[in-house]
Structure formats: C-alpha cells, structure tokens
Amino acid sequence: MSIEVRVPTLGESVTEATVATWFKKPGDAVAVDEMLCELETDKVTVEVPSPAAGVLGEIVVGEGETVGVDALLATLTEGGAAAAPAPAEKAAAPQPGSDTPAKGAGDSIDVMVPTLGESVTEATVATWFKAVGDAVAQDEMLCELETDKVSVEVPAPAAGILTEIVAAEGTTVDASAKLAVIGASGATASAPASAGAQAAPAAQATAAAGKAADIQNAPSAQKLMAEKGLTPDQVQGTGRDGRIMKEDVMKAVATPAPTAAPAPAAAPRAPAPVEDAAREERVKMTRLRQTIARRLKDAQNNAAMLTTYNEVDMTEVMALRNQYKDAFEKKHGARLGFMSFFTKACVHALKEVPEVNAEIDGTDVVYKNFVHMGIAAGTPQGLVVPVIRDVDQKSFAEIEKEIAEKGRRARDGKLSMAEMQGGTFTISNGGVYGSLMSSPILNPPQSGILGMHKIQDRPMAINGQVVIRPMMYLALSYDHRIVDGKGAVTFLVRVKDALEDPRRLLMDL
C-alpha cells in the first residue's frame, strides 16, 4: 500500500517552506515517526516524521526546492516490501544552484557551489567533513561554506567515493565554482595537492558511510564537532536514534580530558619572541566575523555616534514579574523575562521620540511608522541580531515567545537572512554576561540602540533615606546627525519612567 508524505501545517500565516535536508533516500526502510526530512520556513524549522513504517519509495521534492502547505514530498510503501529505486531524475534530486549534478569522466559527478542567496557572489570553504577516499552517501554533508551573511551546507549529490577536493579549506570560491568530484563506489581516489589527505581504507570508509546514512547528526552539531576537533565516536548522541545534537557536543567539550603524562625536560629557553610565537595560534576570521568587524567600523566612520546614560530602579518590574511569572507561564507557555518589559518601554518611547526610530537615506530622513525591534544575541559564531517585526502590535506573551524562539535558532545557526534584516531599533543586553556599563555601537542604518546592563543592589537616597535598590545602568547610543541631545535624553527618561512604574505601559502613558 502506497502512502503519501505531505507538507505538514506550518503555522499561522506561513504558506510555504524549503526542503532543507533529506535524512533518508529511496529504498531505505523507515519506522513510524522516524524523521524523514527537515523543512525551513521564514519563521521555524519543521521536521517531517514518517506517517507509517515501510520503505521510502520516491522523493518528489529535492533539497532546496520550495513547496506549499500540503504539497506531496515523497511516497512510502507500507510494510517491509522493498521499493524499487526512484527514477534517476527524482532519486538524485537537483541540488540548489544547478539543474543537475555535473557529469565528469566516466561515472564521476562534480560537486558544485549551491545557490548562496540574493546578492551573494562568493563564499569561503570553512570545513570539509570528508576526506579524499571517503565513501559518501547521497545527501550526506560534505563541507560547509561561509558567506558574509550565512553558513551554507553542501550535501553529496550522489553516493560514491570522494575522489578529489578541488577547493580546500580557506579557499574563496565564486557562485559557480566546482568544489569536489565524486566517483562511482569502486573508483580509485586520487588526492590533489590541495586536498592534502590520504585515502582511507575501503572497509572503514564504507562502514562510516553506512553509519552516516542511517543517522544524520544535527548540522549544528557537525559544525561544532569540526570546530572543536571531535569525531562522532567521542560524542554520546541523545537525539532520535542516537542522533548527535549540539548540546551533546557541548557536553563532550565540557568533560575534562584525561591528564596527560608529564612532558620531558624542557630544552634550553629560546629567545622570548621565538618562544611566544610557538605558543600563538593564528586562525583566519570567518566570513561572519569579517562582516561584523566591517559593519561596526562603518558605523563608527559614518555616523556621528554619541551615548547618553541613565539608571533605572528595577524594584517594580521585578515585583510584578515575581507576582505573575507562574500564572503567565501556565497560560502562555512562555517564561516572563525582563526583555518584554524593555521592549514595550522602548516602543512607547519611540512613539514620543520618532527620530530614534528613523534612518538617514542620502539627504532624506526616513521616519518609520512601525517598530521592527532587533534583539542582539551572542552565538558561538559571533553576534547576530534577529528582528521581531511589528513588535509595537504584539503582546507581552507574543514578544517573549518570539525572543526565545529566535534566540534558540540563532544559537543553532538556523536563522534566515530575512529574519536579520529590516530592524528599525536594537536592544543589546550585556548584563547577561555581567557588564555593569558599556557604550553599544549602532547597527546601521539604524539611529539608536539601547544597552541593558547587570542588575546590581546599590544604596540609593530616596525621600531622605538611604535604601538598597536593584539598579541597572541604561545606555542609549544614537546618531547625532538626526537625533539631538534633547531627544536622546527624553527617550531614555521615558524608558526609565515606564520601567519604574510598569502601570504606565498598560495605560499608554
């Protein structure tokens, strides 16, 4: 009996998704609820489980293709009967950026750079997860590319042996470049000088490929293992079917390594510069880090940036949060944090001082009659700023849910470019790292950014009495070209007033 696998409900207002990764291939046996593939929308990542036990018959939609809700993804033959392999044009689904895998000599297939996204013309090869001579399964991840915007994973267009790596790690390639060559399963691998790797024994490679085909580890886990120099054998997977998740890798990294044997007696001390050089490590900046560095420097060079400071007594916000946090979480399924209060306070202040929510375009000032709030988030790869759109129209619960969801996806490296663009104002919380005071840098072309800091008990003079209050320093960096000092100070005072008396938020005061 043939069963159809279709796109599940994607959520309110989401009408289409892109097939990110197939974890099974035609002819594979699957169990009920076993993960078949992963879809990406502009909001969330959706896993598609198998509706029944059986054999995957045909993959209708290949990786990189966009589909609508309820579209047919694949067919499944229920039971244990072996399914005939899907037609070649379906089984080897076209990879993004090319119509079909490029054929080389004999049965070899060229691995090309996939589609990198609008306005992205080149990428840097960050990590190769396979070496020349390794056996690879269809859709198994070969390498990862980094652009100045996002990381792109490159899957194998077909099963076989990786016979050549054309672009080694650190190489910059254009959007149509060849990365590697995959030969037929029995082909002999010939490593070029750029690859610098020897072919692995055939039996070991075949076993490794079989394991990877059965269990596809989380892409974020693969990336972190490569960064930390770990192999899958060194990490205990806790995901479905033993799948290694990012948290498993972080746990393995945190586990202390066995104490090494004492080193032999040191040689005579070398001159200081030579000794220091031997202890240094030089690592090329990632494309994302280069972009962060360039944008931050551009902000300093282009904007007349100035910072004004104030402090806020967090007593009332903390009391309100403690009073309602349990009921809030029970009703809305989200934790009540401080970020929703600060977001709401900034929205009210931006309505009164609209130039902080504006931007300069040539000789024009563009005022925004909406608020798209950027919430800066630290990730292992660097600082990113996911944007909560139309935050001025959202409730506390909606804000908390979206901040949590986008922060989690930012740490897993699954944010799309659309989710990091279009912000009109940014909040950065250095307090989570213990910062007491700092001057945040603007996120161009925005004209304002609010810096939150650590909450610290301090003695304050109130009504002639010295009392201990939980205080936080606030910093507003702004573009002095369109925001005057009066407007900047007024904005910060309005944020302070709203937080010290949260009832003002409810009454729109």
Q: For residue 484, indicate whether it is catalytic.
A: yes
Measuring CA to CA, how many Å separate 111 from each of 70, 101, 181, 202? 31, 7, 6, 21
Q: End-to-end CA distance of the chain, in Å?
A: 64
User: Please, what's the b/e burial string for 278-302 (b: 16 or more CB within 10 A of its CB; e: otherwise)?
Assistant: eeeeeeeebbbbebbeeeeeebeee
* 480 noted as active-site residue: yes
Query: For the purposes of burial, counting CB atoms within 10 Å of the CB of 271, is it exposed (0-12), middle (13-18) or buried (19 or more)?
Result: exposed
Residue 240 DSSP symbol: G
Answer for the pair 25, 213: CB distance below 8 angstroms, yes or no: yes
CA dist 156 to 45, 87, 266, 372, 411, Å? 21, 18, 47, 38, 25
- How far apart, in whole angstroms, are the C-alpha atoms of residue 59 and residue 27? 10
Q: Are strands 29-30 and 387-388 parallel, antiparallel or unpaired?
A: unpaired
Closest among 200, 208, 186, 2 to 86, alpha carbons compared: 2
Of 309, 317, 308, 313, which is closest to residue 504 (Cα–Cα)? 317
Catalytic choice (42, 107, 110, 480): 480
Which of 70, 298, 390, 484 is an active site residue?
484
How is residue 54 written in tokens? 């059986």
Catalytic residues: 480, 484
